[in-house]
């Protein structure tokens, strides 16, 4: 059985839901950081009145309708709703900026981490190659010396290839 609501009922439900949403943002702003549509809607009164959210049962309507019905159906009126909107926007703004700054800084830290890893791996390759050379030469075995030379050629070819890619 489908419940039919009148327009006034839907708007009243939406006003209550908007207040609930804004209070939820105040309590747990991190939950809403990824919602760019909501963040943009909170910027001004008109955008917020046009915002809709099926999860919260918020419908879109004009700013005049929002003001009229908030004053009519909510004890604290539109002023309270708008105050919550501003607080929610301010609550998300610094976190949004920090989040964007973190994303912007992450590539630099990733590059630094990769450079450290590359340096460590290069040092390990050089160290192992030197020790392998020493062992092969000390053994006086032509088979080991030939195998070392083959491995050394492979290592040198690999390093040359990597260097050529970096130079492009």
User: What is the chain's pLDDT, residue by residue, as a tens digit (168 residues)?
Assistant: 455 568 888 999 999 999 999 999 999 988 988 888 999 999 999 999 999 999 999 999 999 999 999 999 888 999 999 999 999 998 888 766 666 666 666 677 778 888 888 889 888 888 888 888 888 889 888 898 899 899 889 888 888 888 888 777
Model confidence pTM above 0.85 = no
For 148, residues 6+ apart whose C-beta sits below 8 A from its C-beta are 132, 133, 135, 136, 137
Enter the tokens of residue 137: 């030469």
What is the SS3 string spanning the chain? CCCCCCHHHHHHHHHHHHHHHHHHHHHCHHHHCCCHHHHHHCCCHHHHHHCCECCCCECCCCHHHHHHHHHHHCCCHHHHHHHHHHHHHHHHHHHHHHHHHHHHHHHHHHHHHHHHHHHHHHHHHHHHHHHHHHHHHHHCCHHHHHHHHHHHHHHHHHHHHHHHHHHC
């Amino acid at each position: 059985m489908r419940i039919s609501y009148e327009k006034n009922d839907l708007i009243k439900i939406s006003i209550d839901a908007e207040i609930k949403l804004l209070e939820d943002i105040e309590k747990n702003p991190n939950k809403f950081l990824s919602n760019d549509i909501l963040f943009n809607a909170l910027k001004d009164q008109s955008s917020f009145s046009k915002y809709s959210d099926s999860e919260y049962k918020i419908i879109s309507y004009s700013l005049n309708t929002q003001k009229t019905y908030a004053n009519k159906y909510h004890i604290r009126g539109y002023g309270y709703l708008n105050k919550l909107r501003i607080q929610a926007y301010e609550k998300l703004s610094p976190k949004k900026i920090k989040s964007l700054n973190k994303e912007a800084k992450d590539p630099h830290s990733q590059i630094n981490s990769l450079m450290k890893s590359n340096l460590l791996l290069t040092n390990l390759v050089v160290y192992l190659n030197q020790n392998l050379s020493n062992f092969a030469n000390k053994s006086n075995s032509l088979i080991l010396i030939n195998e070392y030379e083959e491995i050394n050629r492979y290592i040198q070819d690999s390093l040359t290839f990597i260097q050529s890619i970096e130079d492009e």
